Amino acid sequence: MAFRNFKMVGYVVYGRGSFNQLDEIISPHRKESRPMIFLVDHFFEGKPLVNRIPVRGNDKIIFVDVTYEPKTTYVDQLAQQLKEEFGTVSGVIGIGGGSTMDLAKAVSLMMNNPGSSADYQGWDLVKNPGVYKAGIPTLSGTGAEVSRTTVLTGPTKKLGMNSDFTPFDQIILDPELTANAPANQRFYTGMDCYIHCIESLEGTYLNEFSKSYGEKALQLCRDVFVHTDGWNEECDDKLMMASYAGGMSIAYSQVGVAHAVSYGLSYLLGTKHGIGNCIVMNHLEEYYPAGVKEFKYMVEKNKIEIPVGICKGLSDDDFEKMINVSMGMKPLWENALGKDWEKIMTREKLRALYDKL
Ligand code: NAD
Ligand code: ZN
């Protein structure tokens, strides 16, 4: 058996106001006349945060459209635009939620790799390191700040550029940046972390490494969504660390049923990651009884609406497509249900589950 030898993020800074160190942190990585590129979530256009970005020389801020989750075509277009305008750049800094951070990682890689990002969807296909890249989350939960992947929807599949070159060189974890997220969005993205923990801790791949991080992340999620009435600054602090620890937990294990099923929804219907996981988790009593019970309690306590009936009216063909995508996520199923998962999760059973959503 070979143990996973995984590449981690290079540098981490954590704390309220740590965003103010961005200028100092990136300055050693500025090269000659090459600009730093700030990919910023379009939510922040016109907001005060933009004035705090340390723009120097020919640096450029690009507001990225994250209405839809990142596509390979969008990554290619951004990288192409930068190559035409500057030849090459000093680095790419992603400021936003999971979508923006994934775009930043992917664009950094595509500055130094030929062809289309779709060519690199898979495991260890990326050939060259990207340009310097930093990630600054403004939502907490996905763990995209620590992961070795960048989830992209391509022409034929939804799959990450999963490689040792993918993790950020630097992340800046400043909980102040998540302060203004709307309650629903904060919950959906926060539940991504909660679900990572349940799937990791209940999975067959679990070991003491992922358990250590998973248990801590779970406790932080509970502090925020179960034990706090309303919201306070401490919630932002805790959820940011929950996201980090949850990401570290799955780095050495795997996600499970909620993610495997939710990938089918997102492929066919474009359902976003956080809310899609919630829609599925709502119906997974059979697989994660305690986790689902607590999930439902958190939904109620935080007065969140989880959509139901999203698969109503779909054709048999549509269901087949979702089942194919979901069944393709073999490591997720194996982690959740064990080596004999195919005997447990049959196509019929999965269809019945999708019918309930
Ligand atoms: P997101 O990045 O898709 O953003 C969701 C919405 O919140 C957007 O409208 C955005 O503009 C807005 N937003 C962001 N920050 C805000 C703030 N501070 N205040 C108000 N609004 C804000 O959401 P997400 O849940 O963070 O990320 C989901 C994405 O992450 C998906 O594309 C998913 O595939 C990806 N993901 C990646 C990994 C990984 O390991 N790379 C893991 C999980 C999920
Ligand atoms: Zn997730």
Looking at residue 141, its pLDDT comes to: 98
**pLDDT given at position 220:** 98
Q: How far is the CA of 67 from the centre of ligand 1 (A)?
A: 10
Query: Which residue in this structure is represented by tokens 């306070």?
Result: 232
**Residue 22: is it exposed, middle or buried by C-beta count within 10 angstroms (0-12/13-18/19+)?**
buried
**Atom 22 (ligand 1) nearest CA:** 181
- Identify the structural domains of the chain with CATH numbers, from first to last: 11-178 (3.40.50.1970), 183-356 (1.20.1090.10)
For residue 41, the CA-to-ligand 1 centroid distance in Å is: 9
Residue 157's pLDDT band (cuts 50, 70, 90) = confident
Which mutation among 99, 194, 267 tests ligand 1's pocket best, with the greatest number of atoms within 8 A of CB? 99
Q: What is the pTM of this model?
A: 0.97
136/130 Cα distance (integer angstroms): 17
Q: How far apart are CA 224 and CA 201, in angstroms?
A: 19
pLDDT tens digits for range 36-49:
999 999 999 999 99
Average pLDDT rounded to a whole number, residues 316-330? 95
For the chain, state the CA radius of gyration: 20
Q: Ligand 1 pocket: which of 42, 120, 142, 249 to mutate (most atoms <8 Å of CB)?
A: 142
Atom of ligand 1 nearest to the CA of 43: 11
Q: What percent of the chain has pLDDT over 70?
A: 100
Measured in angstroms, how far is the CA atom of residue 100 from the centroid of ligand 1? 7
